[in-house]
């Protein structure tokens, strides 16, 4: 959707990703996507994204980019090996020298000491900075970032950020160090507001059919969708007033499907809900193989509400660990609402948890039958109020199927908590 | 790292992706990745990938690309709407006219008739071709592709492919129409080989210290590294002969850490190893919360070798489900080699599996002590040959810690299988 600018000048921002593996296709370029999304939240836009292999190609590409754009965000090539030459290339393009940064060197030594590992000479170059540039601290790796303000070496009048490649290093550095500087460069404190509403259980086409036209009538409101597996994020950008209008319209349509309004993911909402109500949860997973437990334990503080996870991949495990009856397994098959129900009630009884959720299905690619094709999945949820079971079909690839099923299982818990 | 070509001329190939949604981050750029992979299979390489928004930016970018490269693959912008201007921009850049292609027009009419839909005027421009260029038929959509051979309009001497954006249209057209033309342009059947070796348990700096220099001495061998959490991929590119040399050198240094030589990930190697030896595995996870079980069950066919997964997040669950003694928990604490050992042997006994692996640790950010800081993790592995335990520290973010610990646990299983 085209941006309606509220009177501000547009900064021309370019992303330069370095990494041979990105061009070989062996690694997906997720940086470009992620940075694009983060900039949209600031009301800013990427005008071009370029990927070059490791090595000298970066110099040519950076030279072009700095003469074309106001801001260039470079990712990758800050590591210790011989093909990591982003610092050197930038020094050449901007016409400034590299010097050793004492603070960075100290941090590097500290990083290796903490991990009881020797620091090798190759790491030394990671402590180099461009003369006059800012060092951007990296708390998650050895490579600090660098910020070269406009006209550092005279020309060009372009700001350059050098950022590490690994997402776990890039993301926090972007939020802590890049965002404030971008805001200052853009000359505004906050450009509009962004609200992200997350929905589970409906698809993007539901929004198009039932809501899109009405939202488009709200003047000054920018609307964006991001559809993920089993999830749609709706992004509202504009003044507080128009965002409120947009949100009211949206809730009138889809309130029961709305999981969060602050970007929180489903597992975080579930854990927070359990904590708030002082309830505990157990999981009994067959086809998802531990994915639901894994997602729950990704949330900080999960140990207060999650005690037992059963990954009962075989029929024997279902009977032995959570008391599914052999008769039920024989009569209905492992993938049935009957077994899902017994899995949930058995997991609840064994663990003593307040709520137990179960999943059993056929992830594929093998194991489907005419009656129960690949993608068939049954759910059970057990609480003091009884047991509910569900049967659905999600004919997808093995990993997508697991993700979609885990999404549904977590949403069953969310809905149960919401009704409490 | 710079390519040392083995005596052949390298075609410079560039990808130009158009689409505002790619820069907003609302759609992932999967074309770049996919085309990169397909070209590697042909022994060819992408030298640069550029993304621009829909609209006039494509003209600037295409002009640069055609003067820099031998082949430009453009995706997107062939649709019927006003921002689809790839054809027009290419005509300008190459200096040739557009004409209506009769065969394309006939196909378009047929497409709409088949679907019982009216063809609108906007679709007419999809039947336009560059004078002298080839039409690339599209059996899956309305937009045919276009191939402009080198020097179509005199200069530049660059071949340009215009391809549709939707993957279901792009992929078959690429295979049927683009691949044969690329082979003809490259003047060879197949070039070079790529081998990817995956290592767990050593870091990129180990390669730099012990191997990098020696590999660099092999003439005609290109070497690349990609470091992931708890994993390093080494990429060797060149003739079969130099790859064999490089691999021999690498194995002499790091054979015990090598997980695969065909791109297989650690969990796939573990499942295949279990299948090959006819052994079963059980997992007992505390801090990783089901991640190890989840990774194992991501592998097709895991159900043959994996039956029981215990996510014993609380002390009670550790005692109740896999018989860790209350005394051991009280004396040594849940995060100890003693408890890890009992978790592994208890999981093995309860499940009847041949091998059981256990993980217990402090994922953080809370829960650390001076004696056992956040990041402390203990592992146990139990088999007919007895129990081994390990203690390590990985001070990382919660999710990275979990990933790193799961990597180590899977690698313990891999090593046990390899020693069998």
Residues A233 and A301 in one domain: no
What's the average model confidence in pLDDT over B215-234?
87
Q: Do B288 and A303 lie within an 8 Å CB cutoff?
A: no
How many CB atoms are closer than 10 A to CB B190? 11
What's the average model confidence in pLDDT over B267-274?
98
CA distance A329 to chain B (A): 16
B209: pLDDT confidence band, cut at 50, 70 and 90?
Answer: confident
pLDDT at A409: 98
CA distance B343 to chain A (A): 14
How far, CA to CA in Å, does A126 sit from each of A89, A159, A319?
14, 21, 56
Number of alpha carbons in the 13 Å side-chain half-sphere of residue B257: 20
Which among B24, B283, B399 has the least Cβ separation from residue A36? B24
A296 in a structural domain: yes
* Boundary-marking domain end, from B125, B157, B186: B186
B230 in a structural domain: yes
Q: Which two tokens stand for residue A179?
A: 């965002």
pLDDT at B140: 80
pLDDT tens per residue across span A191-249: 567 788 999 998 877 887 888 889 989 998 888 776 778 888 888 878 889 999 999 99
Helix intervals (H) in A278-333:
291-297, 315-322, 326-332
Contacts of A60 (CB under 8 A, 6+ apart): A52
Query: Cβ-count burial of A116 within 10 angstroms (0-12 exposed, 13-18 middle, 19+ buried)?
Result: exposed
A5 in a structural domain: no
Q: Do A293 and B303 lie within an 8 Å CB cutoff?
A: no
The DSSP-derived string for A167-224 is HHHHHHHIIIIIHHHHHHHHT-S--SEEEEEEESS--HHHHHHHTHHHHHTSTT-EEE
**Share in percent of chain A as helix, strand, coil (round to 5):** 45, 25, 35
B119: pLDDT confidence band, cut at 50, 70 and 90?
Answer: confident
Q: Where are the beta strands (DSSP E) in B152-202?
A: 159-163, 193-199
Q: How far is CA A148 from the centre of its chain?
A: 28
pLDDT of B240 above 70:
yes
* Boundary-marking domain end, from B151, B186, B221: B186
**CATH number of the domain bearing residue B139:** 3.40.980.10
Q: Do A365 and B300 lie within an 8 Å CB cutoff?
A: yes
CA distance A36 to B21: 9
What's the average model confidence in pLDDT over B157-167?
91
**Structural domain tally of chain A?**
3
Residues B64 and B112 in one domain: yes
Q: Do A140 and B316 lie within an 8 Å CB cutoff?
A: no
Mean pLDDT of chain B: 89
Among chain A residues, the shortest Cα distance to B312 is held by A308
pLDDT at B190: 52
pLDDT at B3: 33
CA distance A372 to A378: 11
Percentage of the residues of chain B whose pLDDT score is greater than 70: 96
Contacts of B237 (CB under 8 A, 6+ apart): B3, B192, B193, B194, B195, B221, B222, B223, B224, B243
Which among A25, A33, A36 has the least Cβ separation from residue B34? A25
pLDDT of B166 above 90:
no
Residue A32: its chain B contacts at CB < 8 A? Answer: 22-23, 25, 29, 51
Low-confidence ranges of chain A (pLDDT < 50): 1-9, 189
Between B353 and A220, name the one with better pLDDT: B353
B2 in a structural domain: no
With H, G, I as helix, E, B as strand and everything else as coil, classify residue A393: strand
B191: pLDDT confidence band, cut at 50, 70 and 90?
Answer: low
Residues A84 and A59 in one domain: yes
Hunting for tokens 């992929």 — which residue is that?
B171
Q: Do B321 and A316 lie within an 8 Å CB cutoff?
A: no
Residues B155 and B287 in one domain: no
B5 in a structural domain: no
CA distance A325 to B27: 46
pLDDT at B255: 96
Helix intervals (H) in B212-359:
212-216, 240-254, 266-277, 291-297, 315-322, 326-332, 337-351
Q: Is the peptide bond before B365 cis (omega within 30 degrees of 0)?
A: yes
Residues A253 and A176 in one domain: no
**Among A95-99, B279-283, B413-417, the least confident range:** A95-99
Between A328 and B22, name the one with better pLDDT: A328
What's the average model confidence in pLDDT over B169-187?
90
Which among A48, A81, A320 has the least Cβ separation from residue B208? A81
B130: pLDDT confidence band, cut at 50, 70 and 90?
Answer: very high
Residues A220 and A353 in one domain: no
Q: Ramachandran region of residue B386, left (φ > 0), alpha (ψ -120 to 50) or beta? A: left
Residues A169 and A311 in one domain: no
B384: pLDDT confidence band, cut at 50, 70 and 90?
Answer: very high
Residues A250 and A110 in one domain: no
Residues A122 and A220 in one domain: no
CA distance B22 to chain A (A): 7
Domain that holds residue B60: 13-186
B339: pLDDT confidence band, cut at 50, 70 and 90?
Answer: very high
Q: Is the dihedral of CA B113, B116, B121, B122 positive or negative?
A: negative
CA distance A305 to A310: 15
Q: Report the helix count and the strand count for chain A, using DSSP H and E.
A: 16, 17
pLDDT of B33 above 80:
yes
* Boundary-marking domain end, from A237, A260, A283: A260
Query: Which pTM value belongs to this model?
Result: 0.76
Strand-pairing partners, residue B355, are: B281
**CATH number of the domain bearing residue A349:** 3.90.950.20
Q: Do B311 and A316 lie within an 8 Å CB cutoff?
A: no
Among chain B residues, the shortest Cα distance to A40 is held by B24
Whether residue B279 contacts residue B289, with contact meaning beta carbons closer than 8 Å, is answered with no
What's the average model confidence in pLDDT over B145-159?
87
Residue B32: its chain A contacts at CB < 8 A? Answer: 22-23, 25, 29, 51
The DSSP-derived string for B30-79 is HHHHHHHHHHHHTT--EEEEEEE-SSTHHHHHHHHHHHH-SEEEEES--S
- Substitution target from B64, B297, B301, B398 for chain A, most A beta carbons within 10 A: B297
pLDDT at B279: 98
CA distance B64 to A180: 33
Residues A243 and A348 in one domain: no
Between B90 and B367, name the one with better pLDDT: B90
B317 in a structural domain: yes
Which among B37, B227, B314 has the least Cβ separation from residue A307? B314
Q: Which two tokens stand for residue B341?
A: 């050992």
CA distance A60 to A216: 42
Contacts of B364 (CB under 8 A, 6+ apart): A300, B374, B375, B397, B398, B401
Pairing of strands B355-361, B281-285: parallel
Among chain B residues, the shortest Cα distance to A17 is held by B49
**CATH number of the domain bearing residue B222:** 3.30.70.2860
Which among A79, A310, A317 has the least Cβ separation from residue B204? A79
- Least Cα distance to B304 among B270, B349, B345 occurs for B270
Residues A233 and A274 in one domain: no
Q: Do A308 and B309 lie within an 8 Å CB cutoff?
A: no
Percentage of the residues of chain B whose pLDDT score is greater than 90: 63
pLDDT tens per residue across span B49-74: 999 988 888 999 999 999 999 999 99
Residue A61: its chain B contacts at CB < 8 A? Answer: 48
- Substitution target from B230, B311, B312, B353 for chain A, most A beta carbons within 10 A: B311
**Among A408-417, B30-39, B359-368, the least confident range:** B30-39
ipTM of the complex: 0.75
A79 DSSP assignment? S
A7 in a structural domain: no
A244 in a structural domain: yes
Residues A165 and A270 in one domain: no
pLDDT of B4 above 60:
no
């Amino acid at each position: 959707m085209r941006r309606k600018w509220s009177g501000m000048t547009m900064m021309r921002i370019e992303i330069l990703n370095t990494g041979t593996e990105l061009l070989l296709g062996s690694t997906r370029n997720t940086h470009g996507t992620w940075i694009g999304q983060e900039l949209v939240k600031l009301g800013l836009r990427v005008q071009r994204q370029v990927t070059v292999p490791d090595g000298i190609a970066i110099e040519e590409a950076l030279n072009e980019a700095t003469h074309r754009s106001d801001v260039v965000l470079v990712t990758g090539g800050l590591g210790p090996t011989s093909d990591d030459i982003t610092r050197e290339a930038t020094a050449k393009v901007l016409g400034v020298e590299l010097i050793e940064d004492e603070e960075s060197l100290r941090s590097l030594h500290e990083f290796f000491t903490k991990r009881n590992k020797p620091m090798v000479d190759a790491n030394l170059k990671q402590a180099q900075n461009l003369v006059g540039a800012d060092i951007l601290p990296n708390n998650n790796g050895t490579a600090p970032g660098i910020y070269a303000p406009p006209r550092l070496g005279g020309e060009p009048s372009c700001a350059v950020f050098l950022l590490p490649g690994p997402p776990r290093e890039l993301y926090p550095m972007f939020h802590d160090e890049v965002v404030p500087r971008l805001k200052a460069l853009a000359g505004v404190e906050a450009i509009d507001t962004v609200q992200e509403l997350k929905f589970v259980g409906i698809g993007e086409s539901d929004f198009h059919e039932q809501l899109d036209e009405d939202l488009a009538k709200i003047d000054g409101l920018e609307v964006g969708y991001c559809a993920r597996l089993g999830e749609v994020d709706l992004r509202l950008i504009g003044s507080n007033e128009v965002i409120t209008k947009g949100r009211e319209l949206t809730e009138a349509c889809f309130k029961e499907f709305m999981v969060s309004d602050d970007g929180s993911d489903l597992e975080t909402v579930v854990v927070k809900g359990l904590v708030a109500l002082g309830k505990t949860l157990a999981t009994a997973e067959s086809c998802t193989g531990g994915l639901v437990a894994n997602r729950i334990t990704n949330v900080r503080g999960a140990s207060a509400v999650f005690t037992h996870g059963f990954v009962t991949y075989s029929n024997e495990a279902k009977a032995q660990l959570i008391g599914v009856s052999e008769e039920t397994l024989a009569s209905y098959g492992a993938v049935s609402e009957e077994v899902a129900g017994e899995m949930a009630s058995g997991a609840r009884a064994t663990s003593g948890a307040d709520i137990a959720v179960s999943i059993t299905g056929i992830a594929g690619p093998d194991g489907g039958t005419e009656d129960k094709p690949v993608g068939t999945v049954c759910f059970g949820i057990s609480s003091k109020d009884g047991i509910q079971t569900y049967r659905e079909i999600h004919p997808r690839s093995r990993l997508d199927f697991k993700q979609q099923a885990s999404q549904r299982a977590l949403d069953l818990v969310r809905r149960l908590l919401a009704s409490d």
